[in-house]
């Protein structure tokens, strides 16, 4: 039997240290919301590959669709010999994406590619260079993605210089002292002091920040942002890469806010574990680029497209939006109950939409000082007990809960029992 420790030693020798790991658990097999490591130990998966397998590991309908497509062809390159799967998936995404007006879709392979192309089409359509993003936002590890990302370490450190004409303003986060009005004021100040709005092609925002800590953009802010973009002819780009495909209890997070974007970036949960992303935008914006300006060798891979069609069917047939809300109720309910316990004076905030939930740890609730040390200890204790959790947040003090939406109530409750035991253990060790 190969052990996790043996594989970690081989990984250290063969793989760059710049690729970080949330765990040193080496997966051997997985099923729905469970993973078994190389040593045969079972884990409840509250990470879902960072919100990728919303439909669970190894969903039988996805396996069937992938197998069927493989019998025909696995790759042809859409720019050489197009295929129907790409076209029909674009049609489906055009019909459901939260985009204002008739839409068109370009497929790519990764979330970072989606962000890159969203910026390209916004610049092409407007003829402007500038792009605005928000503090705490995460938009990928390409140079444009890093420039847009609102966190320096570890994402930007040592990788500059970055593309020009990128600006960053404060994301509205009342828990950390920034209101919607203050964020809008910061945008208007940027227009006054740094970049005239006539030079701004787009504003990109996650409706719920992922790496930034599952911070939810207030509805009034999103509506004000929409109005500001309309006023100045700026393209509103919604990064729904982590929030999309039923994760928040609706198909897309923007639906909670009554706002439509001009361009939406999608990935992660789109294809049930296969690499596929999408840029869905207003048809006039998407058509601004000349032929040959968009594309990619693997973009819209036919096997991934087959999986994506099945994911959309599963979300509808298994009512995964409602399922996300039910899972979120279990997770947030337990976290709020834990926050009331006098011996656990460490939960500063509990938040979430649907099954995109988070708990923010502090050294004590009176000071509100972030506690990344407690967060790291909870992760370690969780792994020891058989629970996979992920951290996030600007200060590394947030734990995010992202179980597959196909997880049963029993599995979710078992996972929360393990989380509670891990938290109690971690608090004791740090006292």
pLDDT tens for each residue of 21-78: 999 999 999 999 999 999 999 999 999 999 999 999 999 999 999 999 999 999 999 9
Given pLDDT bands bounded at 50, 70 and 90, which one contains residue 430? confident
Question: Is the peptide bond between 407 and the residue preceding it cis, with omega within 30 degrees of 0?
Answer: no
The alpha carbon of residue 275 and the mean position of all alpha carbons in its chain are separated, in whole angstroms, by 14
Whether residue 42 is found in the same domain as residue 14: yes
Domain boundary, last residue among 283, 317, 351: 317
Sequence-distant (6+) residues with CB within 8 A of 9 are: none
Helix pair 84-96, 302-317: axis angle to 10 deg: 40
Given pLDDT bands bounded at 50, 70 and 90, which one contains residue 431? confident
If you average pLDDT over every residue of the chain, what do you get?
96
pLDDT, average across residues 187-203: 97
Whether residue 386 is found in the same domain as residue 340: yes
Whether residue 129 is found in the same domain as residue 23: no
Whether residue 250 is found in the same domain as residue 338: no
Q: How many CB atoms lie within 10 A of CB 18?
A: 9
Write down the pLDDT at residue 342.
76
**Domain of residue 373, CATH code:** 3.90.1150.10
Q: CB-side exposure of 121: number of CA atoms within 13 Å?
A: 31
Write down the pLDDT at residue 12.
96
Write down the pLDDT at residue 374.
97
Whether residue 251 is found in the same domain as residue 370: no
Whether residue 279 is found in the same domain as residue 350: no
Whether residue 264 is found in the same domain as residue 161: yes
Q: CB-side exposure of 269: number of CA atoms within 13 Å?
A: 31
Domain boundary, last residue among 317, 345, 369: 317
Domain boundary, last residue among 317, 351, 375: 317
pLDDT, average across residues 400-414: 98
pLDDT, average across residues 376-395: 97
Whether residue 28 is found in the same domain as residue 174: no
Q: How is residue 244 written in tokens?
A: 């999309």
Q: How does 160-180 read in b/e, with b if 16+ C-beta sit within 10 Å?
A: eeeeeebbbbbbbbeebebeb
pLDDT, average across residues 101-120: 97
Q: Is 308 exposed, middle or buried (0-12, 13-18, 19+ CB in 10 A)?
A: buried
Q: 231 by DSSP, 3-state: which?
A: helix
pLDDT, average across residues 118-142: 97
Bridge partners of residue 360, in order along the sequence? 349, 398
- In whole angstroms, what is the distance from residue 114 CA to residue 93 CA? 14
Closest CA to 58 of 307, 369, 267, 411: 307
Enclosing domain of residue 119: 62-317
Question: What proportion of the chain, given as a percentage, has pLDDT over 70?
Answer: 100
For 233-289, what is each residue's pLDDT tens digit? 999 999 999 999 999 999 999 999 999 999 999 999 999 999 999 999 999 999 999
Whether residue 303 is found in the same domain as residue 339: no
Whether residue 42 is found in the same domain as residue 86: no
Could you tell me the CA-to-CA distances from 97 to 14, 37, 87, 373 in Å, in that order? 41, 37, 15, 39
pLDDT, average across residues 163-173: 96
Given pLDDT bands bounded at 50, 70 and 90, which one contains residue 381? very high
Given pLDDT bands bounded at 50, 70 and 90, which one contains residue 309? very high
Whether residue 21 is found in the same domain as residue 120: no
Whether residue 327 is found in the same domain as residue 307: no
**Domain of residue 157, CATH code:** 3.40.640.10
The count of domains in the chain is 2
pTM over 0.85: yes
């Amino acid at each position: 039997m190969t052990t996790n420790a043996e594989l970690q030693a081989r990984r250290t020798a063969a793989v760059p240290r710049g690729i970080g790991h949330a765990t040193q658990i080496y997966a051997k097999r997985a099923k729905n919301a469970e993973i078994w490591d190389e040593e045969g130990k079972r884990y409840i998966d509250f990470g879902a590959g960072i919100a990728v397998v919303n439909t669970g590991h190894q969903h039988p309908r996805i396996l069937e669709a992938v197998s069927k497509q493989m019998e025909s062809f696995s790759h042809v390159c859409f720019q050489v010999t197009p295929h129907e799967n790409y076209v029909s998936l674009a049609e489906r995404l055009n019909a459901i994406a939260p985009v204002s007006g008739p839409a068109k879709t370009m497929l790519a392979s990764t979330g970072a590619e989606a962000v890159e192309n969203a910026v390209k089409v916004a610049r092409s359509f407007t003829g402007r260079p500038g792009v605005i993003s928000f503090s705490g936002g995460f938009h990928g590890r390409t140079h444009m993605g890093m420039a847009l990302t609102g966190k320096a370490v570890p994402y930007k450190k040592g990788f500059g210089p970055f593309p020009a004409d990128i600006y960053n303003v404060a994301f509205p986060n009342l828990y950390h002292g920034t209101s919607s009005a203050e964020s809008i004021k910061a945008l208007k100040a940027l227009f006054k002091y740094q970049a005239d709005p006539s030079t701004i092609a787009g504003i990109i925002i996650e409706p719920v920040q992922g790496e930034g800590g599952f911070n939810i953009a207030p509805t009034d802010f999103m509506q004000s942002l929409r109005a500001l973009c309309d006023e100045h002819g700026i393209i509103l780009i919604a990064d729904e890469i982590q929030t999309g495909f039923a994760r928040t209890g609706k198909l897309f997070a923007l639906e909670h806010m009554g706002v439509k974007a001009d361009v939406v970036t999608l990935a992660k949960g789109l294809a049930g574990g296969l690499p596929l992303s999408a840029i869905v935008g207003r048809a006039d914006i998407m058509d601004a680029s000349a032929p040959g300006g968009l594309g990619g060798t693997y973009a819209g891979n036919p096997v991934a497209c087959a999986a994506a069609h099945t994911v959309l069917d599963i979300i509808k047939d298994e009512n995964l939006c409602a399922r996300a809300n039910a899972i979120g109720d279990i997770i947030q309910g337990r976290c709020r109950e834990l926050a009331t316990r006098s011996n656990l004076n460490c939960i500063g905030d509990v938040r979430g939409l649907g099954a995109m939930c988070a708990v923010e740890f502090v050294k004590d609730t009176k000071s509100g000082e972030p506690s990344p040390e407690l967060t790291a200890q909870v992760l370690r204790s969780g792994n020891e007990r058989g629970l996979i959790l992920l951290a996030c947040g600007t200060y590394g003090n947030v734990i995010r809960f992202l179980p597959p939406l196909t997880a049963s109530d029993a599995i979710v409750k078992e996972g929360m029992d393990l989380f509670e035991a891990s938290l109690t253990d971690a608090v004791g060790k740090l006292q």
